[in-house]
Structure 1
Amino acid sequence: MNPTDLKALLPDAIAQRVSSLTIVNRRAIAVVDATGMGERARTDIEQAIKDILSPHEDVDDVRVAMTAERKQLRLIAVGSGKGGVGKSTLTANLAIALTRRGRKVGLVDADIYGPSQPVILGNQGAKPTARDDKLEPVPSKFGVPVLSMGHLVEPGRAIAWRGPMAGNALTQLIDAHWGDAEVLLVDLPPGTGDVQLTMLQKFKPAGAVIVSTPQDLALIDAARAGQLFDQAGVPVIGLVENMSGYACPHCGEVSDPFGRGGVEEAAARLELPFMGRIPLDLKIRQGSDAGAPPAASDDAIAQPFLDIAEKLDAWIGAKS
């Protein structure tokens, strides 16, 4: 019996999935490409192949093997040289904005000592489960699964770990069951410490986004963070200026308590892309505290995040 003739018995939709069909000692062995198929679809196609081929006079047994191409999970680090520049807020909103653009995005809150993503994404108190010794990310109502130390310890409890323990925690958060996610945003702690080094050694990111306020001190620290990525061979996708301009809710006058344009100037000086500005706006703070990130809304305050996500999405697409 010619395997080609046997394959011809299958409907076109099934035959297109069969990457090979062989006959050994009257046993038909079909290898099926199950990439992108759910468990129910896999079961159905396996049963259909057996139902069609088993009655053939030259076949005593039918075996079906499923294979699937694992989609590469692209890590994007979001870092800063110092704390208090709005890095976690930017990361959460970028994740949501990318999801709105059709990307499947996961988020790791790698700020081991000061996790804030459970609050921003509104799933504080949820606990991840484990499967095959790996964590299952916690879902959020914004379509972004997330893992954070904030999901593993009691809220408000201080975490006092030495470097190796923090590195091991990061490994568990990243090496989890991320399902069909294609992009994993990693919200790094500020600075250039053990967590950053562990990530660069074990999970080298595809690229990094650096966020800073316009003030000189923050820019100095941001440049230091950029140097760390550069030394590790991780391309800096671009710089984001946060807390750029404050519009008075009473008179509408715009002031710049942290300065303006410093990050864009630094990007030009370092020959790095400038990705955009996020204003200092009360709605961003209120939304973050309430588990309602502005990027999920149709409010005008979502636009800066959507614009930056568009540039990040283009970068990811160009590297795919």
Structure 2
Amino acid sequence: MISEQQILKALEHVQDPELHKSLIELNMVRNIKIAGKRIELEVVLTIQGCPLKGKIKEDIEISLKEIGATEVSITFGSMTAEERATLTKSLKKNSATNNGMPSMLLPDSGVQFIAVSSGKGGVGKSTVTINIAAALARLGKEVGILDADIYGFSIPVMMNVDQKPTMIDQTAIPVISHGVKVMSMGFFTDNNNPVMWRGPMLNKWIQNFLANTHWGKLNYLLLDLPPGTGDVAIDVAAMIPQAKEIIVTTPHQAASYVASRAGTMAKHTKHKIIGVVENMAYFEEKDGSKNYLFGKGGGDTLAKQLQTELIARVPFAKIEESQDSSVYDEDSIVGEIFTSLAEDIIHSR
């Protein structure tokens, strides 16, 4: 006969898909009843209507059938307000220092911060951000994106994210897309309404995204900064002095000229510049020839000005109708470029 101890041991390996912790560790499995090879149990979820309830049910059934169960009956409940408050406190305890500072900001946290910036909009900064993140995730890294472009948030729609983060009291659980944890102001506005805030509120929300989001284990957190050198860029430099930066431009000399300001600011704030990405570098015709729609040399000029390297030259590429996001397939030409760039980031110091 199957014992309750066997059941608990089997379910130690089943995780809450959002919190990435064992259901047993979170005390979610209750009221176990055993009748021969039939098992009944209750799973107490963090909130009613958990979007990943089906995944939890499937994982439990597989685990219990591996130890001999022939029939598994699962009912779902939800935590009380007191239980959620205790869980939130536990999550924050593991993610914050004694003074309330997010532990991920400590120099020895193991999290590498990469800010992706540009001098102006329209150069593909967000496209570069999500494709670097997706490439790092494909290479086995734990990756997050903080969409710090509060006014011009675009990461959710570009990654085809149509669900909102689960909220456990005041703690947000990031949405995962393409293996990347995502947090954005876009999740908290209705009907694409504009955000109309001044400086202090911007700073507050960036802090909230860092402190009140359960990021879990991360190797890299990419910050998609707003273009230019405004409040958010200044606040990020102050909050995360150890961040490194990638500057995005097009080959056009005007774009390169404006982007140099973002690079100069990075140097002033002591952020190490990883390098320059020249996006929309050229369009490859059917005969293999290259059509330089925006001219040539902008990325090289910018890299020289900033005393850094041109680390990638990304061509125009068509997003196939079958694609559900702006993340390029890893086997495409552009996908391979981002994979190579991600490998360089992993092996750089």
Give your verdict on TM over 0.5: yes
Partner-residue secondary structure (3-state), 2:319 = helix
**Partner residue in 2 for 1:100:** 138
**Partner residue in 2 for 1:282:** 318
1:236-251 aligned within 5 A: 236-248=273-285
CA distance in 1, matches of 2:295, 2:190: 38
1:311 to 2:344 alignment: yes
Mapped contact 1:103–1:183 kept (Cα < 8 A)? yes
Residue ranges of structure 2 left out of the alignment (5+ in a row): 1-19, 27-92, 96-102, 104-108
**Partner residue in 1 for 2:266:** 229
Mapped contact 1:287–1:293 kept (Cα < 8 A)? no
1:131-146 aligned within 5 A: 131=168, 133-140=170-177, 142-146=178-182
1:1-320 aligned within 5 A: 38-39=21-22, 71-124=109-162, 126-131=163-168, 133-140=170-177, 142-175=178-211, 176-248=213-285, 252-283=288-319, 290-294=324-328, 296-315=329-348, 318=349
Partner-residue secondary structure (3-state), 1:265 = helix
Using the TM superposition, give the Cα deviation of residue 96 of structure 1 relative to its aligned residue in structure 2, in angstroms.
Answer: 0.3
Using the TM superposition, give the Cα deviation of residue 287 of structure 1 relative to its aligned residue in structure 2, in angstroms.
Answer: 7.9
Normalised by the size of structure 2, how large is the TM-score?
A: 0.66
CA distance in 2, matches of 1:301, 1:221: 25
Using the TM superposition, give the Cα deviation of residue 205 of structure 1 relative to its aligned residue in structure 2, in angstroms.
Answer: 4.2
CA distance in 2, matches of 1:73, 1:105: 9
CA spacing shift, 1:301–1:202, aligned 2, 3 Å = closer
CA distance in 2, matches of 1:228, 1:265: 17
CA spacing shift, 1:269–1:163, aligned 2, 3 Å = closer
Pair member with larger Rg: 1
CA spacing shift, 1:287–1:164, aligned 2, 3 Å = farther
Q: Which amino acid is 1:143 matched to? A: G
Mapped contact 2:249–2:298 kept (Cα < 8 A)? no
Using the TM superposition, give the Cα deviation of residue 264 of structure 1 relative to its aligned residue in structure 2, in angstroms.
Answer: 2.0
Normalised by the size of structure 1, how large is the TM-score?
A: 0.72
CA distance in 1, matches of 2:208, 2:172: 7
CA distance in 1, matches of 2:207, 2:94: 25
**Partner residue in 2 for 1:52:** none
Q: Which amino acid is 1:230 matched to? A: K
Mapped contact 2:255–2:298 kept (Cα < 8 A)? no
CA distance in 2, matches of 1:111, 1:147: 11
Q: Could you give the per-residue CA deviations for residues 271-320 of structure 1, whole angstroms, max 9, x where no partner exists?
A: 20221111022238x688x42510x44223311111221221222xx3xx
CA spacing shift, 1:181–1:257, aligned 2, 3 Å = same
Say what the alpha-carbon RMSD is for the aligned residues: 2.6
CA spacing shift, 1:84–1:104, aligned 2, 3 Å = same
Q: How many residues align?
A: 252
Mapped contact 1:135–1:172 kept (Cα < 8 A)? no
Mapped contact 2:319–2:326 kept (Cα < 8 A)? no
Percentage of pairs with the same residue = 37
Q: Which amino acid is 2:292 matched to? A: D
CA distance in 2, matches of 1:149, 1:68: 24
**Partner residue in 2 for 1:14:** none
CA spacing shift, 1:177–1:261, aligned 2, 3 Å = same
CA distance in 1, matches of 2:290, 2:204: 45
